[in-house]
Chain A
Amino acid sequence: MAVTHESCAGMGGIRGAGDLVFRMELQGYKINDAKKYVAEKLNCPVEYLADCAEMKDIRESLNISTTQPRPDAAVGIQAKFRIAEILGIPVNSVELFKKQAGF
């Protein structure tokens, strides 16, 4: 059922920009405002956000990870450091990493 929801109506998670838009909904942004905010931060049209072709290029250029990790590219917490900076919001796990690593 989760696959049907994502295929029929979802934004594709890190295939697209679904993770980024969701982070803005957690900040209280409604869907269209969240999409607009993310598109502005990524410097791309809103229409690109659920398009895996465009978002693959954008995510790779910003080094914020895709569904298929590559050598010499950010994964996991490394990508979230960049995401927090790009979106301009605190990410709890990034703050925890800084604390535990003694940054």
Chain B
Amino acid sequence: MANILTRYGDNYIAELSEEDIRADIDDGTADAADRAQIPELTKDEKDYLFEIIADPQKIVSVERGKEVVVSFDAGTLKLTVRNGISMDRSAAILTQERALASDSIELCHVDYSYKPIKPIIAEERQAMEQAQLLSVLPVLYGAMPNMGLYTKPDGPCDNWSELLPAGRIPEARAAQEEAIEHAIKDIVFVASNMIESGADGINFDTVGASGDADVKASLEAVRILKEKYPTTGFEVGMAGEFNLGMHGQLEFDGEIIAGLYPHQQVKMAERAGVSIFGMAVNTNSSESLAWNLARVTTFAKAAVKAASIPVHANVGMGVGGIPLSVIPSCDAVSRVDKALVEIAGVDGL
């Protein structure tokens, strides 16, 4: 068999042999299984993944009837800021709805964290209310918990990233515990206001980026909000496949947060009242698409099996097997989608 055109996690084309691709699939699924103590992909699943990767068509797609819905982080940032198209956010939402056929969209601010939204909450509410009048698709409001913003000199808390290397572990833990309280207040304030302005749901993006304290603040906020707004949806998208233990002892409902993998993260999210769980697995740019995709599919399959709520795979630039590039290739993106939907059974992307 001639070599197969595929890609590496850095987005560049590579020609690999069938043996190399199959070996990478074996290694990728074994890596995920070993880290999370979950089953590897079966032989049939690995064979199907090879077929998807080796398909000679440039673009592949899910089989008819297996389509899923798509959600967004940084929703209205994509066209207006990243693409630099001169339009306001309402126009971006209508473009997503009527030109790009998105299943949902998210309104967000360029300073994409809950804390900086507080002083401009009135303007954000107005933007949501206007957008809701014009649009039909579900419009969520989203931002990141971003616990780092609560450290000095930007915030009131000592910086645990400076305290930890200095060996001042009790002080680092105390600083994170203080920051959690500030973050919960800010998230609940912003989210409540946006729901009162008609948001169809609230998106928590990149949860866990600052470690287990970031996760705790987000889940405690969801719990408060779900009790306050029981019919509103809450989507939580993670920062990575593994909860970093920057604190190490924090618990949610009596369970240690640090160290959880997606199939465990989703169960904790369910208990908090999360409606849609966004699992994130980071792409290794030095490994092939086959290695990365086998790995993320293994994590995703276990998460979907464990979950009683919808699981969306985060498939942005550099996560979920998507190459680490601002312009990821369509051939790789389409293969990621097909594998995650048809092998892992994710409920959305």
Which residues in A have some Cβ–Cβ distance to B below 8 Å? 1-16, 18-19, 21-23, 25-31, 34, 46-47, 49-50, 64-65, 67-68, 75-77, 79-80, 83, 89-93, 95-97
> A26: which B residues are within 8 A, CB to CB?
138, 200-201, 232-233, 235, 275-276
- Interface bracket on B: 35 or more
Chain A residue nearest in CB terms to B232: A92
What's the dominant secondary structure at chain B's contact region?
Answer: loop
8 Å CB contact of B333 from A5, A11, A14, A96: A5
Tell me whether B337 and A5 are in contact (CB under 8 A): yes
Residue numbers in A under 8 Å from B139 (CB-CB)? 93
Once the chains bind, are B101 and A67 in contact (CB under 8 Å)?
yes
User: In the complex, what's the smallest C-beta–C-beta distance from B122 to chain A, in angstroms?
Assistant: 15
* 0/1 string, B178-193, CB within 8 A of A gives 1: 0000000000000000
B224 at the interface (CB under 8 A from A): no
Which residue of B99, B197, B347 is within 8 Å of A96 (Cβ)? B197
Residue of A nearest to B94 (CB): A76
Contact A30 B334 (CB under 8 A): no
Residues of B with C-beta under 8 A to A4: 59, 330, 333-334, 337
Interchain residue pairs with CB less than 8 A apart (22) = A2-B70, A3-B100, A4-B330, A5-B337, A6-B101, A10-B103, A18-B67, A18-B103, A18-B137, A19-B136, A22-B138, A23-B138, A23-B200, A25-B276, A26-B232, A26-B233, A30-B310, A67-B97, A83-B136, A90-B231, A93-B132, A93-B133
A24 to B308, CA, bound (A): 14
Contact A5 B349 (CB under 8 A): yes
Given contacts A13-B97, A18-B103, contact A6 B70 (CB under 8 A): yes
Interface residue B135 (Cβ < 8 Å from any Cβ of A): yes
Per-residue contact bits, chain B 110-132, to A (CB 8 Å; 1 contact, 0 not): 00000000000000000001001
Contacts of A31 in B (CB 8 A): 68-69, 310, 347-348
B62 near A9 with CB under 8 A, answer: yes
The 8 Å CB contact of B101, one of A10, A29, A64, is: A10
- What are the 3 A-B residue pairs with the smallest beta carbon separation, nearest first? A26-B233, A18-B103, A93-B198
- What residues of chain B lie closer than 8 Å to A75, measured between beta carbons? 134, 136
B100 to chain A: which residues have CB within 8 Å? 2-3, 6, 13
Known: A2-B72, A28-B309. A92 touches B276 (CB 8 A): no
CA of A9 to CA of B201 in the docked complex: distance in angstroms? Answer: 22
Docked-complex contact A5 and B136, CB < 8 angstroms: no
When distances are taken between beta carbons in the complex, the residues of chain A under 8 Å from B70 are 2, 5-6, 9-11, 18
Residue of B72, B136, B310 near A76 (CB, 8 A) is B136
Bound complex: CA A23 to CA B140 (Å):
11
| Pair B233/A10 contact, Cβ less than 8 Å | no
CB of B104 within 8 Å of the partner chain: yes
A9 touches B67 (CB 8 A): yes
- Binary CB contact string for chain B from 40 to 59 against chain A (1 if under 8 A, 0 otherwise): 00000000000000000001
| Given known contacts A6-B70, A22-B69, A28 and B275 CB-to-CB distance under 8 angstroms | yes
Known: A4-B333, A19-B138, A92-B199. A27 touches B102 (CB 8 A): no
The answer, yes or no, to whether B35 is at the interface (CB within 8 Å) is no
A9 lies within 8 A of B338 (CB): yes
Distance of A18 Cα from B68 Cα, bound (Å)? 8
Q: Which residues of chain A are within 8 angstroms of B200 by Cβ–Cβ distance?
A: 23, 26, 91-93
Answer whether A2 and B98 are a contact pair too, CB < 8 Å, given A9-B67, A25-B347, A27-B275.
no
- Complex Cα–Cα for A34 and B138 (A): 15
